[in-house]
Structure 1
Amino acid sequence: MKKAILLLGFIFFGLQSSYSQGGEFLLGVNVGLPVGDVEDISNFDVGADIGYLFGLADIVKVGPTAGYMHFFGEDDVDDFQFIPVGAAGRVDLGFIVAGLDLGYGIGVDDGNDGGFFYRPKVGFSVAMLNIVASYTNISIEDNFSVGTLNLGLEFGL
């Protein structure tokens, strides 16, 4: 847990110093429905993301991202959490935005080691706001992964 908090602090300070160099700062919130292996132990999840994207070309942006995902356990299963940390890429076609986040989902609670994280996204852009649909997957073990279908908002600053 201490390592995860330290890592998040390092990323946020890095994002803050990068902010003055030009680019786009993003804040996001989302809700999701667990699918696949995890749908039997969780019925709902919420999350938040922060990122900073640098423009590579007129329509292509990349940068670091970090977030928090909280899964609500069903019946006698405890809630569990992840801190996804990684890289984000976006293609902005005007009113349509597509992207992919890749990295590692750090398991926050005891017994949760985390795993490889990916999230393809597609959304509609309205001014400084994106309405985003995504699929999130964290591969915990060879035979178990945590997947969700998400709907959320991204705010560009």
Structure 2
Amino acid sequence: MKKVLFIAAFLVAGISMQAQEGANAGINLGLPIGDAGDFSGFSIGVDFNYLWSAAESLDAGVAVGFTNAFGKTIDTQIGSIEIEDVQFLPLAAAGRFHVSEDFSLGADLGYALGISDGNDGGFYYRPMVGYSLSEKLGLTFSYTGISLDGGSWDTLNLGLMLSL
């Protein structure tokens, strides 16, 4: 119950920051790879971040999101096994370096809380490349890694990010 209250408080704080300058919201589609690809065919996620200018070409801030990886149906010799969806709530520090007016490199580092049953979560890292489509809209390509006890959950993601 304490974990749920902490998450709710963090989300309320994050949502209240969205009205300020530097807020971004996005959606992404992911392709699970490695161990994750054995259990899921694709994932969808939403991201929120708030970034402050730390230097001329560097922004830093906080990020929160939600990811749902849709479970596969696996056929075996004794029948089909339905894998449940896997869900994470990443909480992270965020940094973006603007290489040019249109391109940026960035990373989110933190912890991904496991939401689904039997999912304890783990260390979260997400390097990314961004391309500005317009003043308010950007395209992102990222790799998400979550270090789990005894394995990892990895995805390749393509998304859109909107400046609020």
Whether TM exceeds 0.5 here: the answer is yes
**Structure 1 segments unaligned to the other structure (5+ residues):** none
SS of the equivalent of 1:111 reads coil
SS of the equivalent of 1:56 reads strand
* CA deviation profile, 1:90-125 (whole Å, cap 9, x unmatched): 012310011000010100011110000000000111
Task: Say if 1:29 and 1:152, in contact at 8 Å, map to a contact too.
Answer: yes
Give identity over the alignment, percent.
Answer: 41
Whole-Å Cα distance in 1 between the matches of residues 91 and 62 of structure 2? 8
Whole-Å Cα distance in 2 between the matches of residues 46 and 17 of structure 1? 24
- Paired residue for 1:118? 125
SS of the equivalent of 1:11 reads helix
Counterpart residue type for residue 8 of structure 2: G
SS of the equivalent of 1:7 reads helix
Task: Say if 1:4 and 1:108, in contact at 8 Å, map to a contact too.
Answer: no
* CA deviation profile, 1:47-99 (whole Å, cap 9, x unmatched): 00111001111211111110000011111111110000111100123100110
Q: 2:56 aligns with which of 45, 55, 58?
A: 58
Runs of 4+ with deviation above 2 angstroms: 2-20
Whole-Å Cα distance in 1 between the matches of residues 36 and 18 of structure 2? 36
Counterpart residue type for residue 143 of structure 2: Y
Counterpart residue type for residue 138 of structure 1: I
Whole-Å Cα distance in 2 between the matches of residues 17 and 44 of structure 1? 31
State whether structure 2 residue 130 is matched by structure 1 residue 86. Answer: no
Task: State the Cα RMSD in Å.
Answer: 1.7
Counterpart residue type for residue 34 of structure 2: G
The 5 A counterparts of 1:136-155 are: 136-141=144-149, 143-155=150-162
Q: Per the alignment, do residues 72 and 18 of structure 1 end up closer, same or farther by CA in structure 2, a change over 3 Å counting?
A: closer
Whole-Å Cα distance in 2 between the matches of residues 4 and 43 of structure 1? 29
**TM-score (normalizing by structure 2):** 0.87
**TM-score (normalizing by structure 1):** 0.90
CA shift for structure 1 position 129: 1.0
Whole-Å Cα distance in 2 between the matches of residues 61 and 98 of structure 1? 11
Whole-Å Cα distance in 1 between the matches of residues 2 and 103 of structure 2? 37
Counterpart residue type for residue 152 of structure 1: G
Q: Which deviates more, 34-43 or 2-11?
A: 2-11
State whether structure 2 residue 24 is matched by structure 1 residue 26. Answer: yes
**Structure 2 segments unaligned to the other structure (5+ residues):** 74-81
State whether structure 2 residue 134 is matched by structure 1 residue 135. Answer: no
Whole-Å Cα distance in 2 between the matches of residues 52 and 149 of structure 1? 23
- Paired residue for 1:6? 5
Whole-Å Cα distance in 2 between the matches of residues 66 and 18 of structure 1? 12
- Paired residues in the alignment total 154
SS of the equivalent of 2:117 reads coil
